[in-house]
Copies of this chain bind each other. A is one copy, B any other.
Amino acid sequence: MTTCPAWEQSLLLKAIRREPTPYTPVWLMRQAGRYLPEYRALRSKIPFAQLCKTPSLCAQIMVQTVQRLGVDAAILFSDLLLVLEPMGFPVEYTAGEGPVFERPIRSAQEVDRLQELESLEPLAYVLEAMRLTRAALPNHIPLIGFAGAPFTLASYLIEGQGGSNFRYTKGLMYSDSGAWRAMMDRLARAVAQFLLAQIQAGAQAVQLFDTWAGCLGPEDYRQYVLPFSQAVIQAVESAAPVIHFSTGNPALLPLIREAGGQVIGVDWRVRLDQAWQQIGYDRAIQGNLDPAVLLGPPELIRQRVQQILCQAAGRAGHIFNLGHGLLPDTPVENVLILVDAVHQLSQRPTAASRIPSESVSLGSGSDQMPPELA
C-alpha cells in the first residue's frame, strides 16, 4: 500500500486546490538568485549556463535557499531558454544584457531554423536536476517545474533578447500567420513534452511563464497566443496543476484565465482583489508584490504585504509571491522580512489560538483587515 507523500498536504498544494490553510504559503520568483551572497560566490566560480547544466549544484542552491528563506515551495533551478538549445538555438548568456541569440529569426522563411524537439535526451540534465532537488528537499516542501510559454519563447527567438517594443515579433506575427502558427505549434509541443517530463522527474506543479505577453492587446493575445498556451496547459494539467503566469497587462487576465491554469499569476500592476474578481474565484491566484518594494524600508514591506493579504480577504487559494523575479540588488534581510510578514500576518485564528481582537488598521479604508483576520 502506498502512502500519500507529505507534499500532497503542503500549503502550496492545498492553496492550488483552494483548500483552507493555516496561513498563506509564499515562494518567490528568482528566490535562488544574484541577491544571495552564496549564489554570487558560486557564480564567481562558474558561468550561469554551466551552473544550469550541473544538476547537483542546481539542487544544492535551491535546497539551501528554501531552508534559508523559510519559503513554502521550491522551484527548479534552471532557465527558460535552455529548451531552445536542442531546437537549434544555443543561448549566449552575456554579462550585462541577459540572454541573447546571435542569429535571431527575423523572417517567415527563417522559422524552420527552429527544429522540432525530437528527444528530451539533450535536456536530461534538467530532469536530473529535478530528481536531485526533489530527493534533497524535505517531503513537505513541494517542487515546482517550469517552462516559458510559446509566446515568450518566440519573442526571445525573434527579438534575439528580452524587453523591447517587440516590433520584430509583432511584425512576423502580423505578416505571416502561417509561419507564426507553425512556430508556435512547434514551441507548444516542445514545452508540453518538457513539462510532462519535469512532472515525471518529480515536480508537484509547473509554472508556465508568459513574461512578455503583456506587450500585446487582448485581440492579439486571443488570436496569436491563447490557442498555443491553451494547448500546452491542456496537455499537462491532468499530470500536475499549472500556474499560468504573465506580466505587463492586467487587461489580459480574463484571457489568461481562458487559456487555462489552476492558478493565475498576476503582477503588481493591478490590485489583487480586482485581479481575482476578473479571473474568477474558481481559480487560485498567485502574487502580487512589486519586487521593487523590497528595496524600501521594512515598514513599507510589511504594510504592502498586509494590503495584499487584506485584498485576498482570507479566501482559500492565495499563494503569495512577487509580481516578477527578485531584483539582483535586493537586501537578503528584506526578503526574510517579507517571508515572515506573510506567514505572521496571514495566520488564520483557530479556536485554540485566537489572536486578541484588537483592530488592526493600515492605510485606506478599502484595505482594512477583513474581520476574520483582525
The residues of A with any CB-CB pair to B shorter than 8 Å are: 163, 165-167, 170-171, 174-175, 214, 216-220, 248-252, 268-271, 274, 290-293, 295-297, 300, 304, 307, 323-324, 327, 329
The closest CB in chain B to the CB of A171 belongs to: B295
Least CB distance, A8 to chain B, in whole angstroms: 34
The closest CB in chain B to the CB of A296 belongs to: B174
Report B-chain residues with C-beta under 8 Å of the C-beta of A250: 249-251
A292 contacts which of B167, B214, B252, B290 (Cβ < 8 Å)?
B167
Contact A268 B217 (CB under 8 A): yes
Contact B290 A220 (CB under 8 A): yes
Least CB distance, A231 to chain B, in whole angstroms: 21
The 7 closest A-B pairs by CB, nearest first: A174-B296, A170-B292, A171-B295, A251-B270, A217-B268, A250-B251, A249-B269
The closest CB in chain B to the CB of A214 belongs to: B269
CA distance A166 to B268 in the complex (A): 14
The number of times this chain is found in the oligomer is 2
A295 contacts which of B175, B219, B268 (Cβ < 8 Å)?
B175
A327 contacts which of B167, B304, B323 (Cβ < 8 Å)?
B167
Contact B248 A248 (CB under 8 A): yes
Report B-chain residues with C-beta under 8 Å of the C-beta of A295: 167, 170-171, 174-175
Contact B167 A217 (CB under 8 A): no
Known: A170-B296, A217-B290. 6 other contacts (CB 8 A): A166-B292, A167-B295, A217-B270, A217-B323, A218-B271, A248-B269
CA distance A251 to B288 in the complex (A): 14
Least CB distance, A306 to chain B, in whole angstroms: 12
CA distance A279 to B167 in the complex (A): 28
Report B-chain residues with C-beta under 8 Å of the C-beta of A307: 219
CA distance A217 to B304 in the complex (A): 12
Least CB distance, A163 to chain B, in whole angstroms: 7
Least CB distance, A124 to chain B, in whole angstroms: 34
CA distance A327 to B250 in the complex (A): 24
A-B contact pairs, 16 of them (CB 8 A): A163-B163, A165-B324, A166-B292, A167-B295, A167-B327, A170-B290, A170-B292, A174-B295, A174-B296, A174-B300, A175-B295, A217-B268, A217-B270, A218-B269, A248-B248, A250-B250
Least CB distance, A43 to chain B, in whole angstroms: 20
Report B-chain residues with C-beta under 8 Å of the C-beta of A274: 251
Report B-chain residues with C-beta under 8 Å of the C-beta of A300: 174
Least CB distance, A335 to chain B, in whole angstroms: 15
CA distance A293 to B290 in the complex (A): 31
Least CB distance, A299 to chain B, in whole angstroms: 10
Contact A292 B217 (CB under 8 A): no
Contact B167 A293 (CB under 8 A): no
Report B-chain residues with C-beta under 8 Å of the C-beta of A268: 217
The closest CB in chain B to the CB of A289 belongs to: B217
